[in-house]
């Protein structure tokens, strides 16, 4: 049985992931920027249907979809919806709150703590997320999403996506207004 939190549209999950926490061992942070992707979005990996790469995106919600891009970067998504829907939320930025020394060690390029998790590939690097984690259960695995007991609360805001001409009104991109940890 799919958890209600994940059994919704990508836009709804993207909104409610703002303020939630992502933890990998002792390292963790508050999610401050997300972007939703579903099959109606030409920019989505699932737009043209299931392939070998995006298989986990078509799996059941509550799992991780990790992909490799630009020949060097990993990015992590929260899969949502029922199996076969091809819906997910890219985690674009985190405000680091725990285990910062672990993230600094994993990201020697980051000159300041602001750069530890600002951007999807930086975030993945800070937590050591790679293709080996693709498909993992976000409630039981190494990588966990904690969406209850948010302290302090972070209000989600949305706005038009940058660089997209179609369906700019869709609430696909969410962020914490004014956060210095938002990537854009």
Q: Which is nearer to DNA, 14 or 149 (CB)?
A: 14
In angstroms, give the least distance from the CB of 39 to DNA: 10
Among 15, 107, 154, 173, binds DNA (CB under 7 A): 107
Considering only residues 109 through 138, tell me which ones interact with DNA, judged by CB under 7 A. 109-110, 115, 119-123, 125
In angstroms, give the least distance from the CB of 162 to DNA: 10
Q: How many CB atoms lie within 10 A of CB 113?
A: 15
From first CA to last CA, the distance across the chain in angstroms is: 36
Rounded Cα distance between 84 and 62, Å, is 13
Phi-psi region of 111 (alpha: psi -120 to 50; beta: other; left: phi over 0): alpha
Q: Which is nearer to DNA, 9 or 155 (CB)?
A: 9
* Sign of the CA dihedral with 138 first, then 140, 141, and 147 last: positive
Q: Which is nearer to DNA, 54 or 99 (CB)?
A: 54
The secondary structure of 23-84 as a DSSP string is EETTEEEEEEEEEEE-TT-TTSTTTT---STTGGGGS-TTBEEEEEETTTEEEEEEEESSTT
In angstroms, give the least distance from the CB of 57 to DNA: 6
CB-CB contact of 27 with 91 (8 Å): no
In angstroms, give the least distance from the CB of 152 to DNA: 25
Considering only residues 19 through 78, tell me which ones interact with DNA, judged by CB under 7 A. 35, 37, 43-46, 48, 51-54, 57, 65, 67-73, 75, 77
Does 161 contact DNA by CB under 7 A?
no
Residues forming the site for DNA (CB under 7 A): 35, 37, 43-46, 48, 51-54, 57, 65, 67-73, 75, 77, 88, 90, 107, 109-110, 115, 119-123, 125, 183
């Amino acid at each position: 049985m799919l958890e209600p939190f994940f059994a919704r549209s990508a836009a709804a999950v993207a909104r409610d992931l703002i303020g939630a926490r992502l933890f990998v061992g002792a390292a963790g942070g508050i999610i401050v920027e997300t972007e939703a992707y579903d099959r109606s979005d030409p920019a989505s990996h699932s737009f043209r249907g299931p392939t070998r790469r995006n298989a986990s995106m078509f799996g059941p919600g509550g799992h991780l979809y990790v992909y490799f891009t630009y020949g060097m970067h990993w990015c992590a998504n929260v899969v949502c919806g029922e199996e076969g829907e091809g819906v997910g939320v890219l985690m674009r930025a985190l405000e680091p709150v725990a285990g910062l020394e672990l993230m600094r060690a994993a990201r020697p390029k980051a000159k300041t703590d602001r750069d530890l998790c600002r951007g999807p590939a930086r975030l993945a690097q800070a937590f050591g997320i790679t293709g080996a984690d693709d498909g993992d259960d976000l409630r039981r695995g190494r990588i966990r999403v904690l969406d209850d007991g948010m302290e302090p609360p972070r209000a989600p805001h949305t706005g038009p996506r940058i660089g997209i001409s179609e369906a700019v009104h869709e609430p696909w991109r969410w962020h914490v207004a004014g956060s210095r940890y938002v990537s854009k």
